Amino acid sequence: MAANAAQAGKGWLVRMLGGTADGGLSAAAYGAGSGEGARDRVERAAYNAPIGMALGTAGEGIATGAGKLYGRVFRGSDDVARGINPAANVSDAEQFGIPLSRAQATRSVPQSNIENQLRSQGAMSSFDQAQREAVGQSVGSVQSRIAGSQPVIPGQASAYDSIPAALRGKRDELKAASQDAYEASVNNPNVLVSGDAVKSIPSFIRGKLDADQILIDPMYHQGASRAMSFIDDYIGRMPKPGGDVHSVQAQLRWVENLRAGLRKNFPPIGQDAPALKAISSAIDDWTDNVFDRGLVNASDDVLQELKNARSKWSEYKGMTEPRAKVGGRLNPQYEAQARVRNIMEKDLSPEEVGQYLWGTSVASPKNASFMTANELRRHLGADSPQWSGIRQSFWLRATRAGDDAMQPHQIVKNLDGLLEGNGKGVAHVLYSPDEREMMRKFARVMRNLSPAREGINGSNTANRLMPMLNKYATGILTALASGGGFAGGLGPLESMGLGALTGATARGLGSVARTARVGAATRTPVPVNPSGLGGATLRGGGLPMLPDQRRGKALLLRP
């Protein structure tokens, strides 16, 4: 039982209890096996059991203490923090090619103190350097996984080199495609609009102006006032039903001529600009409305082409003239659309584009950043190099400062904010569930690289004093050995030799112990539990010396 407890990594109390039980049972079995007759066997077993329990407890205590002492000197601490699985931590780190020390794998405060002491002596420098290089390489490795088949960007700002140009190209493409398709369909004389719908254009526009709280004063907004009069006169020329004519329809081209006349005669400039832009937007809304209500008569193919043209035109207007309200309702994409428009129109450096879109903190991006991400993905395309660059740039902003990887605690803070904090919405747009889980795992590895808060020695005084204290202790031991040899009858030279030998031995053992602790810390991050054979050996060795109380005489039992 004690051996099983040791192999399972149980504490000293469980091991001692197991040793007590093992010793008692073994001694009782030994006494029963060496007796003669049933009564004698029972008496021997009953007498030997408590003595065996004492031997078991003592043997397990000696073995546990000796093992702890040896481990402390030559292996470090085998302590594991509560709730920590060192093997799982090492496995996660190995997926990114990052080595862990024992303190990092176990989150053990005692082992952390041992490794801090070794670092103060420069014994962990090669491991720490290798780990830093591995972290830097792992950042690049994750970036490559995010990039996939797209090019890997050299820095976070380079993602925004080509985005304004790509957006301008998309804008021009939408404008040309929508105008060409719409023009071809509008010129079709068989595309007709309900006459009642056409007559409602002036009232529809005035309703939109009232909803947007845009007032047209004939004295101060003469251009807008004349534009409304132009619309009233133009619509007023439409024939009215009468006689045998029960309904009148208008060619869509006739309505488009109204739009063209407004653009030509009433450009949105000066104090009339807001009202004139609102009038133009209201006509766009009216056109969308008649299509949605099925008030346009044409063949199915022509109607589909018109709807596609209107859809592209609406997307184009969203890129160039985003509106806070669309169709009388608030436009939730307005802020994102305005950002897209501004990076197309303003002369910004790549760094300024990134900061304008998302802000300066990857852990806490600007408000509505997830909508901005959606808008960019829609315009750029999810498979475009530009969108891939944005995805990579967020990863680099979270993990790299310039060309070097950030400190692990900074990476943890950034990734926690991006994945679980204020940046969660953006992360869901940028990355797939598998990619977000990979980043969480990377954050856990970075968290393990940071020492447990309880194990941080801010002053590091003890670690700095330890080499000096070891030196003094070695000197004292050398002096005592030399003095003891002289007092014991050795000559002066022999005494000095004994002292020198003692000092050299102490220094050698110290070097061996330090090297062994470094090896255990860096090559065996998961502590190996003891086999428990030491306690069993000590218990078994004491069994032949159990006293024989048959006939009241103390004898040695037969082996």
- In tens, the pLDDT along 539-549 reads 555 555 555 54
d(CA 30, CA 43): 12
- Confidence at 352, pLDDT banded by 50, 70, 90: very high
**Please, are residues 2 and 530 in contact by the beta-carbon 8 Å criterion?**
no
Please give the full DSSP string across 179-248, using - where no structure is assigned: HHHHHHHHT-TT-EEEHHHHHTHHHHHHHHHHHTT----TTT-HHHHHHHHHHHHHHHTS---BTTB---
**Please, are residues 139 and 405 in contact by the beta-carbon 8 Å criterion?**
yes
Query: Comparing 417 with 185, which gets the higher pLDDT?
Result: 417
Is there a domain that residue 543 lies in? yes
d(CA 477, CA 490): 17
For position 391, what pLDDT does the model report? 96
Between 408-420 and 433-449, two packed helices, what is the crossing angle to 10 degrees?
150
Residue 515, CA distances (Å) to 69, 115, 121 in order: 16, 12, 11
Determine whether 107 is exposed, middle or buried from the number of CB atoms within 10 Å of its CB (0-12, 13-18, 19+). buried
Query: Taking Cα atoms as reference points, which of 527, 510, 536, 455 lies closest to residue 68?
Result: 527
Work out the average pLDDT over 150-177: 92
Between 369-380 and 163-186, two packed helices, what is the crossing angle to 10 degrees?
60
Is there a domain that residue 235 lies in? yes
- Token pair recorded at residue 405: 């990887």
Query: Taking Cα atoms as reference points, which of 450, 426, 284 lies closest to residue 358?
Result: 426
Work out the average pLDDT over 292-315: 83
For position 32, what pLDDT does the model report? 63
**Please, are residues 392 and 341 in contact by the beta-carbon 8 Å criterion?**
no
pTM of the model: 0.70
Q: Is 326 helix (H, G, I), strand (E, B) or coil?
A: strand
How many alpha carbons lie under 13 Å from residue 294 in its C-beta half-sphere? 1
Work out the average pLDDT over 348-373: 90
Query: Taking Cα atoms as reference points, which of 197, 206, 39 lies closest to residue 550?
Result: 39
Is there a domain that residue 232 lies in? yes
pLDDT at 515 over 70: no
pLDDT at 118 over 60: yes
pLDDT at 36 over 60: yes
Query: Comparing 493 with 410, which gets the higher pLDDT?
Result: 410
**Please, are residues 73 and 413 in contact by the beta-carbon 8 Å criterion?**
no
Write out the residue range of the structural domain in which residue 175 sits: 165-321
Strand partners, 401: 404
Check whether residue 297 and residue 174 sit in a common domain: yes
Is there a domain that residue 71 lies in? yes
Percent of the chain with pLDDT over 90: 33
- DSSP code for 148: T
**Please, are residues 476 and 132 in contact by the beta-carbon 8 Å criterion?**
no
Tell me how many domains the chain contains.
2
Query: Taking Cα atoms as reference points, which of 52, 44, 45, 65 lies closest to residue 19?
Result: 52
Neighbours of 204 (CB within 10 A): 17
Is there a domain that residue 376 lies in? no
- Confidence at 122, pLDDT banded by 50, 70, 90: confident
Please give the full DSSP string across 153-168, using - where no structure is assigned: PSSSGGGGSSHHHHHH
- Confidence at 551, pLDDT banded by 50, 70, 90: very low
Among residues 321, 351, 367, the one where a domain terminates is 321
Q: Which of 62-66, 163-167, 353-357 has the lowest mean pLDDT?
A: 62-66
Mean per-residue pLDDT over the chain, rounded: 79
d(CA 193, CA 328): 23
Q: What is the helix (H) or strand (E) element at residue 297, kind and residue range?
A: strand 296-297
- Confidence at 160, pLDDT banded by 50, 70, 90: very high
Strand partners, 245: 242
Is there a domain that residue 507 lies in? no
pLDDT at 340 over 60: yes
Is there a domain that residue 33 lies in? yes
**Please, are residues 400 and 348 in contact by the beta-carbon 8 Å criterion?**
no
Q: How many residues does the chain have?
A: 559
List phi, psi (to 5°) of 328: 80, 0
Query: Which residue type, as a one-letter code, is found at position 152?
Result: V
pLDDT at 294 over 90: no
Among residues 295, 321, 347, the one where a domain terminates is 321
Q: What is the residue whose two structure tokens read 């300024």?
A: 352
Work out the average pLDDT over 36-53: 67
Query: Taking Cα atoms as reference points, which of 401, 402, 403 lies closest to residue 411?
Result: 401
Among residues 262, 294, 321, the one where a domain terminates is 321
**Please, are residues 410 and 386 in contact by the beta-carbon 8 Å criterion?**
no
For position 520, what pLDDT does the model report? 67
Between 385-399 and 163-186, two packed helices, what is the crossing angle to 10 degrees?
150
Neighbours of 8 (CB within 10 A): 11
Q: What is the helix (H) or strand (E) element at residue 330, kind and residue range?
A: strand 329-330
Between 369-380 and 334-345, two packed helices, what is the crossing angle to 10 degrees?
60
Is there a domain that residue 544 lies in? yes
Neighbours of 239 (CB within 10 A): 9
- Confidence at 132, pLDDT banded by 50, 70, 90: very high
193-252: per-residue pLDDT in tens? 888 888 999 999 999 888 888 888 888 889 999 999 999 999 988 877 654 444 678 888
Check whether residue 313 and residue 205 sit in a common domain: yes
Check whether residue 187 and residue 294 sit in a common domain: yes
470-514: per-residue pLDDT in tens? 665 667 766 776 677 667 777 677 767 766 776 666 666 666 556
Work out the average pLDDT over 284-289: 86
For position 414, what pLDDT does the model report? 94
